[in-house]
Amino acid sequence: MSARAHNFFAGPAVLPVSVLEETSQAVANFANTGVSLMEISHRSKEFEAVMNEAQVDALALMKLYPDEYSVLFLGGGASMQFAMIPMNFLVTKADYVNTGEWATKAGKEARLFGQVNEVASSEADKFNHIPKNIKFSGDADYVHITTNNTIYGTEWKSTPDVGTVPLVADMSSDMLSREMDFSKYSLIYAGAQKNLGPAGVTMVVIRKAWLEAKAKKDLPSMLKYATHVKNSSMYNTPPVLPVYVLGRTLKWIMKEGGLGAIQKRNEAKAKLIYDAIDACPGFYKGAVAAKEDRSLMNITWNLSTTELEDKFVAEAKAKKMLGLKGHRSVGGIRASVYNACPMESAEALATFMAEFFKANQ
């Protein structure tokens, strides 16, 4: 491939170069079938192998057992899951922790189906931290959290203790970025376009026992998890191309050494940029109040004026560093350093930050 830019977009986001190259081949001639991946039947044995391998690989990376969990590849994005989860599981009440815009939207959708207890929120502090010492109700149908907050740059560094209540998590922006005990969750969902693949597919990992025991039955077929589990995500035509790319990304994670190796690299990349922020106090102002809540995936900071921020973004772009403008709702600067973001990009940004400080302090 020709020289690539340093990609810091928050989503759709950077993908491994080897995956892009494999996909390019598959788009032209998939599995030596003589037709494109975008032309072949999803019922063909060649594509069924793609689907089956992706499901197996996802569970292997998460150290989950196929007799206990199912992996689904669905459309509609994580936003569809905001409604689908309460539609299937909310009977009496659910506990929601509000840590950002997407968590807020998840709670809003859930209220259409039943009682939502917002057991903790960092909204009063502009979502600049993860709430601590949360008191969960203990008898909710489930607890919902958003593990990484793309806009604000906060991340849960440990799984909350919710007792025997099923735990549900939106992991869209930090899925498979680090080692963790995924068995503590009854349902995990992730829009692919931040850390798994391209836009167009959402991965859902669901505990079979919870689904069988608690999911509502009288629902539209397409909105029932049981439908998709029974049909192995093939009830209707799945998003073929995004599923393929996601599957190749899972293979790439394995080749890179698994989640342990990925985590070490993510920590090293994030440290480079956070150190650059901390080295210039008052000039670069980290947006997250407590360092222990800083995201490994989305690093957020401000400068003293919007004019200086605009200058930073423009000069970075001239050096082929793209996607650094903060979310439109909060402004500032944001560097998204997902799994596929190479170390060289983090090094280039840290170097530029030091140079920009010297030139503009």
301 flagged as catalytic:
no
Contact 78, 103 (CB under 8 A): no
Q: Choosing from 57, 95, 174, 194, which is the catalytic residue?
A: 194
Q: Choosing from 57, 95, 141, 170, which is the catalytic residue?
A: 170
Nearest to 203 by CA among 78, 306, 114: 78
Structure tokens at 50: 């793609």
* Dihedral angle of Cα 142, 12, 263, 103, to the nearest 10 degrees: -30
Contact 165, 207 (CB under 8 A): no
Residue 317's CB is within 10 A of a number of other CB atoms, namely 15
Helix or strand run (H / E) with residue 71: strand 69-74
Hey, CA dihedral for 32, 37, 41, 42, is it positive or negative?
A: positive
232-250 as b/e: b if 16+ CB within 10 A: bbebeebbbbbbbbbbbbb
102 flagged as catalytic:
yes
302 φ/ψ angles, rounded to the nearest 5 degrees: -125, 160
The CB-based long-range contact list for 39-43 (8 Å cut-off, 24+ gap) reads: 40/240, 42/234, 42/237, 42/238, 42/240, 43/234
Q: Choosing from 102, 156, 210, 252, which is the catalytic residue?
A: 102
170 flagged as catalytic:
yes
Contact 147, 174 (CB under 8 A): yes
Q: Which residues are marked as active site?
A: 102, 170, 194
